[in-house]
Amino acid sequence: MNAKIDGAISKIQLVFAVLFALLIAAQIRVQLFQAPALATNPHNPRQALLAAYRGSILASDGTVLAATQGGARAYPLGAALAQVVGYASARYGTAGLEDAYDNVLSASNVSTDPIAQFRLFVNPAQRRLQHARGATVVTTIEPDVQRVLFRRLNRYAAAAGVVLDARTGAIVALASVPSYDPDSLDELFPALRVDTSSPLLDRALQGLYPPGSTMKIVTAAAALDSGTVAPDATFYDPGYVQVGNFRIHNDEDEVTGSADFTTAFALSSNVDFAQIALKVGVPTFYAYLHAFGFGSDLGLALPASLDHVPAQGAIYSGELAQLGFGQDDLQVTPLRMAVVAATIAGGGVEPRPFLVREIRRPGGSVTAFGPGTLGRPISAETADEVTKMMVAVVKRGTGTSAAIPGITVAGKTGTATNEQGAPHSWFVAFAPAQSPRYVAAVVVEHGGYGAAVAAPIVRDVLAAALGRK
């Protein structure tokens, strides 16, 4: 009987020994191999204990965009930059730049070196908080321009805008409305998450819209660069054109009559540009769409939607005619159209947009980021011709409301029809036209005519950027 009891006890002891060994193995695995990932996981509550040591996010001039104050994360620009800077919450994780650069912003209290982890594991007496302050992330944002862009957009229910440095591709301002107060994120988040107006969405990077007549920049560039249409070509617009089953007309059935290429562009004739797209043809048109990067990733650190480009094999004459003036099933982000305008401003070289200028780590090391290019979709001569057309838009065409006294502005209006209601209002521009410094693209959802709504916003933003407030 005693032997049976002793045997049972031995089995129980063996089970406990095995379980204890498994527990030790699991602890070693966590301590040695999973610790680095767990330490930097934004959903790890331990991050909240290290918030005081989290690095700051700064504007290009040193203005604080995000920092820890009184044990909590603070966002001085508030709603004006909410989607871009994002948030760092112990309850809801991270978003925006706070998420994209979480690994460098985060403080740490233990080394992620496996050997150091093992030493801490086998010698608990060595476990003590050894805080390493997070790095500082310096952005390309110019606060004064950002405030003007947000203030002007915030007059509307839903809108977005992007401002680039035409010389480098640096993102100077990036705004989306509706927005929210990131300082109250924990209290607001449950309501924000279900809000049908999508205040958490960064429309400048993730909103997809038909580009409307701003797409005529690409159509004109393709026609000129491919040699399909000469700069001095003339067109006739009787108010409509029948293309297969499609009857194409201008806004309010406007008739522009006979016009040269620049005038057709300045007056934004859908009829003329439908015919220009047909002359270019599907293969060439799509070759330039790809050359400009439509549908491709712009390489930004923040999440950005890919443009929706209809499959080339599904495009027939009627669809191509509509693509020529930015309709059919083409959808783009405001960032994409800003980059298109920047390509014209840059003499045909497409800049790579970037939002972070440098990362400053504790100890003095700095990682710098600078300008880059994505390609050259068109020649400098073509870019010069399209620039002249865009200048005509503001001087004597549909975009006169974007004029800035003493500065030559090159721009293009867009009024993009959609199935959900009133047209979206677009305007893209750069200034000064002769030596571009800033590029801007704005879309106002259901805003109506680009000339009436989006163009004055771009005018005010460019004026502020150029010191003509």
Residue 2: its H or E element = helix 2-29
Burial class of 122 by CB neighbour count within 10 A (0 to 12, 13 to 18, 19+)? exposed
pLDDT value of residue 107? 76
The CA-based angle 406-447-217, given to 5 degrees, is: 55
3-state secondary structure of 312: helix
pLDDT value of residue 420? 82
Residue ranges of alpha helices (H) inside 95-235 are: 96-100, 102-105, 114-122, 143-153, 185-194, 203-206, 216-225
Candidates 3.20.20.120, 3.40.309.10, 2.60.120.10, 3.40.710.10; correct CATH number of 143-353+370-465? Answer: 3.40.710.10
Residue 35: its H or E element = helix 35-40
Q: Are 431 and 444 in contact (CB under 8 A)?
A: no
Distance CA(437)–CA(71), nearest Å, equals 40
- Going 347 to 348 to 349 to 351, the CA torsion angle's sign is positive
CB-based contacts of 11, cutoff 8 Å, min separation 6: none
Q: What is the pTM of this model?
A: 0.86
pLDDT value of residue 41? 55
Residue 8: its H or E element = helix 2-29
Q: Residue 93 CB: number of other CB atoms within 10 A?
A: 17
Q: Are 141 and 363 in contact (CB under 8 A)?
A: no
pLDDT value of residue 127? 42
For 46-139, CATH gives: 3.90.1310.10
Where are the domains positioned within the chain? Answer: 46-139, 143-353+370-465
Amino acid at 412: K
- CA-closest candidate to residue 370, choices 207, 138, 148: 138
pLDDT value of residue 256? 75
Burial class of 347 by CB neighbour count within 10 A (0 to 12, 13 to 18, 19+)? middle
- CA-closest candidate to residue 220, choices 388, 399, 386: 386
pLDDT value of residue 126? 43
CB-based contacts of 309, cutoff 8 Å, min separation 6: 289, 294, 295, 330
pLDDT in tens, the chain (469 residues): 566 666 667 777 776 776 776 777 666 665 555 555 555 455 554 454 457 789 999 999 999 999 999 888 999 999 999 999 999 998 999 999 999 999 999 976 544 445 544 554 555 444 444 457 899 999 999 999 999 999 999 999 999 999 999 999 999 999 999 999 999 999 999 999 999 999 999 999 999 999 999 999 999 999 999 999 999 999 988 888 888 887 887 776 677 778 999 999 999 999 999 999 999 999 999 999 999 999 999 999 999 999 999 999 999 999 999 999 999 999 999 999 999 999 999 999 999 999 999 999 998 899 999 999 999 999 999 999 999 999 999 999 999 999 999 999 999 999 998 888 899 999 999 999 999 999 999 999 999 999 999 999 999 999 999 997 5
